Amino acid sequence: MTLKQLTISALLSWFVLPTFAQDTQENPLKNELDSVSYGIGLNVAQNMKNTGFTEINAQLIAQAIDDVLKGNPALLEQGAIDEMIRGYMENMHRRKYEAIIQKGASFLAENKKRPSVVELPSGLQYEIIQKGTGKNPASTDQVTVHYEGTFLDGSVFDSSVARGQPATFPVNGVIPGWVEALQLMREGAKWRLYIPYNLAYGEAGTPAGIGPYETLIFEVELLSVDK
């Protein structure tokens, strides 16, 4: 059911109207329309807060609503609005995880100084634990690997080794850091990969417990290339 399809009485049943703590404060809700208006405002504000907004210019929100209802010209074009809100929310999200971003960047900056570590132009870093002598996979090939993934603190978040069951998947079906590394490896090789967040699970992370902007470490053993 849409908002337009709801009666005023049904709308009111959604909202729990506030009881003002101070008896001396006059209740501004004088009639049904006031209550509905305030209730809609509460819902909008709660949705914004849940999305991550912690501050907003409420007066301009009220002006925008008023402009639409009265048919006044908008102060901004819709395309500009969409782009602006998207950029603002992306920056807001990034600021929330700035400490994790900096931790990953600092780790990679120090890690690449070690003689055994190779850094590729993409930012992917790796070191060879064991050389391979078999085939190089192409991006369209399927491979079978053993792997173990850890966070920077060393805690394991996934391991085919622990499960005792290798994983088989198409090379181009995994995160970008793996796609790049696998095509450089040969069958029998075992590498340790240091993957910046933009080549891992990015700014979103995964529902399985990998947070946004996480730099990850994988030990990957390429068991076979399955054409």
Domain coordinates in residue numbering, the chain? 3-96, 98-226
When pLDDT is cut at 50, 70 and 90, the band that residue 16 belongs to is very low
Q: How far apart are CA 202 and CA 177, in angstroms?
A: 11
- Summarised one tens digit per residue, pLDDT across range 188-211 is 999 999 999 999 999 999 988 999
Residue 3 has pLDDT above 70, yes or no: no
DSSP letters along 95-138, please? HHTHHHHHHHHHHHHHHTTSTT-EE-TTS-EEEEEE---SPPPP
Q: What percent of the chain has pLDDT over 90?
A: 56
Higher pLDDT, 79 or 12: 79
Measured in residues, the chain has a length of: 227
Higher pLDDT, 44 or 11: 44
Q: Which of 137, 156, 143, 146 is nearest to 217 (CA)?
A: 156
Question: What confidence score (pLDDT) does residue 127 get?
Answer: 98
Over residues 156-172, mean pLDDT: 96
Over residues 173-180, mean pLDDT: 97
Q: Give the global pTM.
A: 0.71
- Summarised one tens digit per residue, pLDDT across range 51-93 is 777 788 888 888 888 888 899 998 888 888 888 888 888 888 7
Residue 7 has pLDDT above 90, yes or no: no
From the candidate CATH numbers 1.10.10.10, 3.30.1490.190, 3.40.50.2300, 3.10.50.40, the one assigned to the domain spanning 98-226: 3.10.50.40
Question: What confidence score (pLDDT) does residue 37 get?
Answer: 87
Residue 151 has pLDDT above 90, yes or no: yes
Measured in degrees and rounded to the nearest 5, phi and psi for residue 27 equal: -70, 120
Query: What topology is assigned to 3-96 in CATH?
Result: Helix Hairpins (1.10.287)
When pLDDT is cut at 50, 70 and 90, the band that residue 136 belongs to is very high
DSSP letters along the chain, please? --GGGS-HHHHHHH--PPPPS-TTSPP---SHHHHHHHHHHHHHHHHHHHHT-----HHHHHHHHHHHHHTPPPSS-HHHHHHHHHHHHHHHHHHHTHHHHHHHHHHHHHHTTSTT-EE-TTS-EEEEEE---SPPPPTTSEEEEEEEEE-TTS-EEEEHHHHT--EEEEGGGS-HHHHHHHTT--TT-EEEEEE-GGGTTTTT--TTSPPTT--EEEEEEEEEEE-
